[in-house]
Amino acid sequence: MGRRAKNKQAPPQPFVERSAASSSSGAAKGKRKASDAALPSSKAGGAAKAAKKAPASARPVKAAPSNGVKSGSRKEKERKALFADSAGSAEGDDDEDDGFSGIEDMSDLDEDSENDAEEAQKAGMLSDENDSDGLEYEDLDEDSDNELGDPDDRERDEEGEESDYMESGEEGEEGEEEKEGEEGEQADPLASLGLPQDGRPLTARQKKKALAEAERLEELLKSQGYSLESGDEDGEDVEQGEGSGSEPEMNEDELAFLNGEGGEGEDEDDEDEDEDSLEGEEDDGMSEDGETFTLPTLEQREAEKVRGADLQVVQMRITEVVNVLSNFKRLAPADGPSRSEYVDQLLDDICNYYGYNRYLAEKLFNLFSPAEAIEFFEANETPRPVVIRTNTLRTRRRDLAQALINRGVNLEPAGKWTKVGLQVFESSVPIGATPEYLAGHYMLQAASSFLPCVALAPQPHERVLDMASAPGGKSTYLSAMMQNTGVVFANDSNKARIKSLSANIHRLGCKNVVVCNHDGRQFPKVLGGFDRVLLDSPCSGTGVISKDPSVKMNKTERDFQLLAHLQKQLILCAIDSVNPRSKTGGYVVYSTCSVAVDEDESVVDYALKKRPNVRLVPTGIDFGRPGFKSYMGKNFDPKMDLCKRVFPHAHNVDGFFLAKLKVEPRSKVVKEDNEEKAANRGKGKGKVAAKGSDDEDEQDSEDVESEEDEAAGEAGAFGFNAEEDEALIQAAQQRVQQKKGGKAAAAGTAGKKNAVGAKTRRA
Amino acid sequence: MRPLTDDETRLVFSKLAHYIGNNVVHLVDSTGEASSSSRAHENDDDDASEGKGQFVFRLHRDRVYYVDEMAMKLAGAVSREKLCSLGTCLGKFSKSGNKFRLHITALDYLSTYAKHKVWIKPNGELPFLYGGHVVKAHLGRITDDTPEHAGVVVLSMSGTPLGFGVTARSTVDTRKLDPTSIIVFHQADVGEYLRDEDTLF
């Protein structure tokens, strides 16, 4: 159990081991996840804990190990508020905590103890036994209660870690943690990019690696004759990140020392936390001249391809080109290569370094500015945090969190935007196999998959369709939101995945779900008149590359064309399946786990054009970026910015796109854009004469929708509208006449036309 | 999908009655309140008054489903090959059709209406979830006057249903047993969602 935890722990801190109580010293290695500390404490620690407990007047053990973990008391308070457990204050427990043996020599113990007191209090509130679990929970504080939408905090903590290495022996680790805590939660707005929470120890390691590589690169650069300019970027970064008095100065010095003239080494936003906003600063600080960096010539590139590029060189070149591109006028030589050549080289390097095929690299690159694109690619290399969703049909988030903590899981609420999400940092038991999981108390689900359901917001007693629902995370969420009332149709076209869909539905105790195995395009033929429809459509998966790296190589232009075609069909079917006269609903939510415009805004735009009675409405999600109103020359509906986009590098969730559409009843307006109809205008009454059979189908389904009640299904009630039939018959007649060159409409042809009319009606 | 015939109904109800006794009538007449409402975060009490509808039993491809009427009617629009599941699957009939077997998916209803319950200690949860029988050492509580060979629902100490089974001895006899003897024969547990996920549906 402890093995995995150990693997994930932070690298050993450069400080002296504290002599004293084994468990406490072990635990006090702040960053280490508590399960590690828990082990010694739980096994041997009975006695040690007892000893500590004594002075602490039976305060739970959490106090002991957690002293090292400290982060701002504010964090605890936040967590308290989040879980709404403790009413207590009890700040005055300092004395008891001071009884910890062996830590007295550390000067910062006082602050620790104070924090510990609060933590102990809180811990006491949360769980009265199971020290280890409590430990882990406490440890989490230091990681900051990172809501997924709050990369700034993470940034800051990472900065804090960096400062640890920098200062190398300044203070105890506790001191470091202290400072982190003191800096406060609401960190300084370090731009964007947070690396995943559970990767933080790795990040620290990576950071070390990055610095080492930076040094190596400096050597490399020097050897290649580039002049190195000193950059204070990292110093600036750190300063921004921490914002507290003494440290930044230290860091700058340290960094300057370490990096020497290696200004370019610091450019590696690839490996460090990605500072988009700092790019600008770096540019100013860098002032790299065109002379010092030149694009490799054609021969050089050929040679590189033959012999295989050195990844470090490639990476360096990437950062340099990004730098140049971000300030092209100033940094590129006037007579040098054009911007497109730089971009070309950059794309080649990206393909080489990250492993994309050229088409996809270009597609993704064009979504962002060059620097942000690099961040995006970098973020795709690391996994996003594991998130679970509480099943409100069976339990409460607070109770579930408690139960899981008792089992040894490190977790926290996932963000302000959700009341049911929990982010799992580390777990000593398999999170997908706990008794709570089996009892259906939660579901493993990516954070971005919450969004479509939150946007759809189904009300109790509604009729909802989920067109592509396997493995069932969203359908079960919808069912839970409706509190097992109404009906949810969970459809999936893949028979093999239907099994896991049904299993999940039953496991989570959703009683109002009907599972069917249709192709989504068969709705609304199968059944229409839903109040809400969720279409999480099959896509290329460019937003979840971190989960499935094969996407990098195997998605081609053809794939995008096929998928876009399918998505367009599906979204039209989804729109047609909605009852526009629904009292409480009439919404379609279209979502994909892709960031490509082909599959996102294009599809929505297509739907809006094809169905003029549909309009975009706000999604109700308060984070994320708006959709693109225009892209590469294509202009979309002006309301497209009501859609939401989220990205891995900006929001630390899988890339996602979300659009919410409201379907209005179709008004009886004659369509202007069909010449045939223009000819029939005199004859057409009421509804528009069909361009083809689709409109008739839509009309039919709409008739059904308008009448529908309990028994839906088209078998119920066609209202035959004689007027409309007339119009249709006339239209069909006209068409036949035109085709035949205006032959006289004899009785025979009239008969045929009637048959034709009937057929088209039935279609 | 079709309603159950009389024979089938008899088989199903007698099986259910093993575990919930005469509470079967609640299932038959229910308005769908059979959820662990005490634990649910949101619980609307006015469900019964609103059109929640009657819950009914339906047979589809050898499996018996317990679903509310409105959903059942809507599901009628789905063709037989394409319909996979509706409401809650309670269990399935054997190929010859004369035996009915309850599945773990019915646990929710069983645990709500169960006549006899067995609570097991935390250290006994995992062995049971792996498919083992419940031994006396893991026994936390047991309802009084449980007869021998009675259907029981197995719960954890915190009240979460874990599965169901059949008692090996009556409550009275259980007291005399030594700690390693089996007191509840395992029949189904929630671990099957992982172990048997391929065969469950």
Examine residue B41 and state whether it is found in any structural domain, yes or no: no
Q: For residue A536, what pLDDT is reported?
A: 94
- Give this complex's ipTM: 0.91
Contact A269, A318 (CB under 8 A): no
Distances, alpha carbon A663 to alpha carbons A667, A687, B57, in Å: 12, 18, 35
For residues B152 and B192, membership in a common domain is answered with yes
Instruction: Name the E strands within A581-731.
Output: 587-592, 614-617, 625-626, 630-631, 634-635, 644-646, 656-663
- Segment A308-339, tens digit of pLDDT: 778 888 989 999 999 888 888 888 787 888 88
Residue A202 neighbours by CB under 8 Å, 6+ apart: A8, A382
Å from A490 to nearest chain B CA? Answer: 10
Top mean pLDDT of A8-22, A49-63, A526-540 is at A526-540
Q: Reduced to 3 states, what is the DSSP secondary structure of residue A19?
A: coil
* Min Cα separation B41/chain A (Å): 5
| Domain boundaries A447-663, CATH class | alpha beta
Q: State the best of A465, A494, A512 to mutate against chain B, taking most chain B CBs within 10 Å.
A: A512
Nearest to A509 among B35, B51, B201 (CB): B35
Q: How many domains does chain B have?
A: 2
DSSP strand pairing (A487-491 vs A513-516): parallel
Interface check for B127 against chain A (CB to CB < 8 A): the answer is no
The Cα–Cα gap between B57 and A718 comes to 30
Contact B75 A711 (CB under 8 A): no
Lowest mean pLDDT among A254-258, A420-424, B129-133: A254-258
Task: Answer whether B40 sits within 8 Å of A503, measured CB to CB.
Answer: no
In angstroms, the CA A564 to CA A633 distance is 18
Q: Is B87 on the interface with A (CB under 8 A)?
A: yes
Rg of chain B over all Cα atoms, to the nearest angstrom: 18
- Asked, for residue B183, whether it belongs to a domain, the answer is yes
- Which of the four pLDDT bands, split at 50, 70 and 90, describes residue A9? low
CATH 3.30.70.1170 residue ranges of chain A are: 385-444
Please tell me whether residues B183 and B124 are part of one structural domain: yes
The range of the structural domain enclosing residue B126 comes to 116-197
- Chain B residues closer than 8 Å to A433 by CB: 194
pLDDT for A13 equals 62
**pLDDT of amino acid A236:** 41
Same domain, B124 and B159: yes
- Give the confidence band of A212 by pLDDT, cuts at 50, 70, 90: confident
- Say if B97 falls within a structural domain: yes
Q: Is A435 close to B156, i.e. CB distance below 8 A?
A: yes
A517–B81 C-beta distance less than 8 A:
yes
Pick the last residue of a domain from B109, B140, B157: B109
Helices (H), A508-600: 551-554, 557-576
Helix/strand/coil for A546: coil
pLDDT on residue A498? 93
Q: Hey, what's the torsion of the CAs at A709, A711, A714, A720, to 10 degrees?
A: -50
Regarding whether B104 and B20 lie in a shared domain, the answer is: yes
Cβ–Cβ under 8 Å, residues A592 and A657? yes
Nearest to A516 among B68, B82, B126 (CB): B82
**Three-state secondary-structure class, residue A27:** helix
Annotated binding site of A: 468-474, 492, 519, 536
Whether the CB of B1 is below 8 Å from some CB of chain A: the reply is no
- The CA-to-CA distance between both ends of chain B, in Å, stands at 16
**Across-strand partners of B153?**
B117, B164
Residue B76: give its domain's CATH number: 3.10.450.220
| Contact yes or no for A368/A566 (Cβ under 8 A) | no
Same domain, B68 and B14: yes
Percentage of residues in chain A having pLDDT higher than 70: 54
Set of chain A residues whose Cβ sits within 8 Å of the Cβ of B126: 435
CA distance to partner chain B, nearest, from residue A397 (Å)? 9
A244: number of CA atoms within 13 Å, CB side? 19
Q: Are B123 and B173 contained in the same domain?
A: yes
Residues B25 and B73 occupy one common structural domain = yes
- Contacting residues of A for B105, CB less than 8 Å apart: 506
Q: Is residue B58 part of a domain?
A: yes
Q: What is the mean pLDDT of chain A?
A: 70
The first and second tokens of residue A375, run together, are 């961040």
Q: Is the pLDDT of residue A170 over 50?
A: no
> Does an H or E element contain A464, and which?
strand A463-466
Contact (CB<8Å) A518/B78: yes
Q: Is residue B47 part of a domain?
A: no
Question: Which positions of A are catalytic?
Answer: 593
State percent of chain A over pLDDT 90: 41
B31 and A CB contact within 8 Å: no
Residues B97 and B130 in one domain: no
Per-residue pLDDT at A230 exceeds 60: no
For residue B48, tell me if it sits in a domain. no
Report, as an integer, the average pLDDT of A252-267: 45
Q: Are residues B96 and B154 in the same domain?
A: no
Phi, psi (5° rounding) for residue A530?
-80, 155
User: Is B103 found in the same domain as B124?
Assistant: no
In the numeric block, the tokens 């009421």 are attached to A686
Scan for tokens 């369509």, then name that residue.
A671
**A509, B84: Cβ pair inside 8 Å?**
no
Mean pLDDT confidence for A5-29: 50
The answer as to whether B136 is a domain residue is yes
Chain A residues within 8 A of B161 when measuring between CB atoms: 439
Q: Which residues of A touch B32 (CB under 8 A)?
A: 484, 511
| Cα–Cα separations (whole angstroms), residue A111 to A95, A102, A114, A116, A175 | 12, 16, 5, 8, 9
Q: Is the pLDDT of residue A600 over 60?
A: yes
**B24-41: b (≥16 Cβ within 10 Å) or e:** bebbeebbbebbbbebbb
Question: Which neighbouring-strand residues pair with A617?
Answer: A660
Annotated binding site of A for S-adenosyl-L-methionine: 468-474, 492, 519, 536
Q: What is the pLDDT of residues A743-755, one digit of tens each?
A: 554 554 444 545 4
Pick from A403, A484, A715: CB nearest B35:
A484
Measured between alpha carbons, how far is A481 from A486 in angstroms, rounded to an integer?
11
- CATH annotation of A385-444: 3.30.70.1170
**Residues B105, B141 within the same domain:** no
- Name the least confident of A205-209, A754-758, B123-127, B151-155: A754-758
Domain-located, residue B43: no
Quote the pLDDT of residue B31: 63
A404 vs A388: CA distance, rounded Å: 11
Asked if B84 and A394 come within 8 Å (Cβ–Cβ), the reply is: no
- Whether residue B82 and residue A438 make contact (CB cut-off 8 A), yes or no, is no
Query: Where does a domain end: B65, B81, B109?
Result: B109
B21 — contact with chain A (CB < 8 Å)?
A: no
- For chain A, residues classed under CATH 3.40.50.150 are 447-663
- Cβ contacts of A503 on chain B, cutoff 8 Å: 193, 197, 200-201
Q: Do B78 and B126 reside in the same domain of the chain?
A: no
Find the range with the poorest average confidence among A123-127, A619-623, A625-629: A123-127
